[in-house]
C-alpha cells in the first residue's frame, strides 16, 4: 500500500451546524493566526509531492468559506506531480464559485447532502440552504467538474426516508450518490444507536429500484464500493466505515487546518508541521519528518485508535 493521497483542511469554520458533526452553537474555532497560511500549505504540499503524494483533496470545516480559497486551488494545481486536485463542500457557496474553481484547476467536487427534502435538510443542517446546494450541484456539472459525488450520512429516525429519494438522483443525473455509515466522534453528536448499516440502506434501495449491479468508480480509488441502478445516468456508492473494514488499504494522510498531520481520522495524535515550519526549519528537516510520517502510517481501526473525542470540522473528515 503506497500513501499517495493528502486531505488538507483549510479551515475549521463552517456555515452549517449538522447534527452529526457540529451540533453545538458555541464553539471555539482555531484563531486565524494559527491557521496554516496558503504559503505554508503550498510548501507542505510541494514537499509531500516529493514524497509520493499525487492526489490532494481540500476539506474543512467548509473550505469555500476560507477567504481567497480559489487562489489556493490555483497554487496547488500548479504543483507538477499532483495529478488530481479535488474538494469536498457542503455546496452552499458552490453555485457562485464553481466557474472560478474549475478555471483555477480543480478537477472534482464532492457535495455533502443528507436529504433531498427541504424541511428535512434544515432539520439536519440547521439552515434553509437546500435550494442553494441543489443549484450548486447543477452548476458543478455544467462547468465540467467531474465526477460530481454526493455524500449522504444516514441516521436512524432522521433521514432514512430519504434513501430512495437520494438514490433517484443517480438515476436522473451523472453523479455518484454515496451513502456513508454514521459514526459518532464525540458525546455531543448523535449516539451510536442511530447508526444505520449500509446493508440496510442497500436493501431499501433495491426494494424500490430492483437489484443493483456492481460497477467501477469513474475516478479515485477510495473505500467506496459502487453499484448502478438499471438505466441510471450515475451510480450508487457505499462507504461502510463501521460495518466494513478498509484500514489495511488506506492510502491517505490528513493535514488539519492548524498544521498537524494525522495518519488516520481517528488517531489521537498529530505531527506538528506548523510548529516546525514557523520555527525556521529548512526543507530537508520538514522532508525528514514527512518521510517518517509516511513510513509510520499504520492500519488504524476505530476500536483501537479512537481514543480521543473530536469535532469532525476540526479534522476534515
Matching CATH number, 5-315, of 2.60.120.10, 3.40.50.2300, 3.40.50.11270, 3.20.20.70: 3.20.20.70
Sheet holding 225-228, edge to edge: 213-215, 225-228, 235-239, 176-181, 148-154, 108-112, 84-89, 55-59, 5-9, 252-255, 260-262, 271-272
* Residue 305, pLDDT score: 47
DSSP string spanning 133-166? HHHHHHHHHHHT--SEEEEEEEBTTTTGGGHHHH
pLDDT by 10s per residue, the chain, length 317: 789 999 999 999 999 999 988 655 567 899 999 999 999 999 999 999 999 999 999 999 999 999 999 999 999 999 999 999 999 999 999 999 999 999 999 999 999 999 999 999 999 999 999 999 999 999 999 999 988 999 999 999 999 999 999 999 999 999 999 999 998 765 545 556 789 999 999 999 999 999 999 998 876 668 899 999 999 999 999 999 888 777 777 889 999 999 999 988 777 679 999 999 999 999 999 999 999 999 888 555 444 444 455 455 555 55
Amino acid at each position: 500500500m503506497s500513501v499517495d493521497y493528502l486531505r488538507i483542511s483549510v479551515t475549521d469554520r463552517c456555515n452549517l451546524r449538522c447534527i452529526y458533526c457540529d451540533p453545538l452553537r458555541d464553539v471555539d474555532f482555531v484563531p486565524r493566526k494559527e491557521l496554516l497560511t496558503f504559503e505554508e500549505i503550498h510548501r507542505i504540499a510541494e514537499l509531500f509531492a516529493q514524497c509520493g503524494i499525487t492526489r490532494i483533496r481540500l476539506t474543512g470545516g467548509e473550505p469555500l468559506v476560507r477567504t481567497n480559497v480559489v487562489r489556493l486551488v490555483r497554487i496547488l494545481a500548479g504543483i507538477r506531480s499532483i495529478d488530481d486536485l479535488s474538494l469536498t463542500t457542503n455546496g452552499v457557496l458552490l453555485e457562485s464559485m464553481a466557474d472560478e474553481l474549475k478555471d483555477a484547476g480543480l478537477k472534482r467536487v464532492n457535495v455533502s447532502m443528507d436529504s433531498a427534502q427541504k424541511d428535512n435538510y434544515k432539520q439536519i443542517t440547521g439552515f434553509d440552504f437546500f435550494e442553494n446546494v441543489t443549484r450548486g450541484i447543477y452548476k458543478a456539472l455544467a462547468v465540467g467538474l467531474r465526477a460530481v459525488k454526493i455524500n449522504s450520512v444516514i441516521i436512524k429516525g432522521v433521514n432514512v426516508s430519504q434513501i430512495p429519494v437520494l438514490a433517484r438522483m443517480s438515476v436522473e443525473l451523472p453523479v455518484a450518490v454515496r451513502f456513508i455509515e454514521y459514526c459518532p466522534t464525540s458525546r455531543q453528536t448523535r449516539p451510536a444507536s442511530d447508526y444505520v448499516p449500509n446493508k440496510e440502506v442497500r436493501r431499501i434501495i433495491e426494494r424500490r429500484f430492483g437489484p443493483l449491479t456492481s460497477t467501477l468508480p469513474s475516478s479515485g480509488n477510495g473505500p467506496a464500493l459502487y453499484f448502478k441502478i438499471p438505466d441510471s445516468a450515475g451510480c450508487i456508492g457505499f462507504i461502510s466505515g463501521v460495518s466494513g473494514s478498509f484500514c489495511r488499504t488506506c492510502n491517505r494522510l490528513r493535514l488539519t487546518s492548524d498544521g498537524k498531520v494525522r495518519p488516520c481520522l481517528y488517531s489521537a495524535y498529530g505531527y506538528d508541521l506548523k510548529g516546525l515550519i514557523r520555527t525556521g526549519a529548512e526543507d530537508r528537516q520538514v522532508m525528514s519528518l514527512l518521510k517518517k510520517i509516511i513510513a509510520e502510517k499504520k492500519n488504524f481501526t476505530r476500536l483501537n485508535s479512537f481514543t480521543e473525542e473530536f469535532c469532525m470540522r476540526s479534522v476534515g473528515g
